[in-house]
Structure 1
């Protein structure tokens, strides 16, 4: 999966969100509870894992993401990007100040080891 390199380099904090609904407006944050904060090596490791997600063909499920991450730079103002993951249709939707239009919608192999490791990481921090 592609994440803008400048966003990865600038990320100081990641919020992990357990998504409860779809946003009501395009570009709005995904609603849900923030269940974890990752900083330092934990944030860098998560981004490195996400970057290893291999591409896949589009699957159809209606896009019902369960998890999202929001990446912030040190100022913690606006999110550099938010990425919402649907492990059923293997789709990632991203938006934010650092996301070019070409990277807004991507597809990943949800059965591949990196995707399963990411799902396990999300589930590990869930209450």
Structure 2
């Protein structure tokens, strides 16, 4: 999967959200409960893992994301990007000030080792 390179290098904090619904309009944060904040090496590790997610074909669930990550730089103003993951249809939708249109919708193999590792990190964060 491809993340915006400038956002990856600038990210200092990741907010993990357990998504509860779809946003009411495009480009606004996914509603849900923040379950964790990752900093330092956790940010680097999770962004590296996300970048290693293998591509996949689109599934058929209609996009019902369970998790999202929001990446922030040190100022913690607006998110550099938010990526919402649907592990059923293998779709990731990204938006934010650092996301070019070409990266807004991608598909990943949620059954791959990297996909399962990411899901395990999300679930552990929610405990």
TM-score category, normalised to shorter length = over 0.9
User: C-alpha separation between the residues in 2 aligned to 1:77 and 1:4?
Assistant: 18
Matching residue of 1:101: 101
SS at match of 1:79: coil
User: C-alpha separation between the residues in 2 aligned to 1:11 and 1:17?
Assistant: 16
User: Aligned-pair distance for 1:115?
Assistant: 0.2
Matching residue of 2:52: 52
Q: Is the counterpart of residue 89 in structure 1 residue 89 in structure 2?
A: yes
Q: Deviations over 1:32-81 (max 9, x none)?
A: 00000000001110000000000011111010000000000000000000
Matching residue of 1:7: 7
SS at match of 1:102: helix
Count of matched residue pairs: 127
User: C-alpha separation between the residues in 1 aligned to 2:31 and 2:37?
Assistant: 16
User: C-alpha separation between the residues in 1 aligned to 2:11 and 2:99?
Assistant: 13
User: C-alpha separation between the residues in 2 aligned to 1:110 and 1:118?
Assistant: 9
Matching residue of 2:119: 119
> Following superposition, which runs of at least 4 residues in structure 1 exceed 2 angstroms of deviation?
none
Matching residue of 1:24: 24
Matching residue of 1:77: 77
User: Aligned-pair distance for 1:98?
Assistant: 0.2
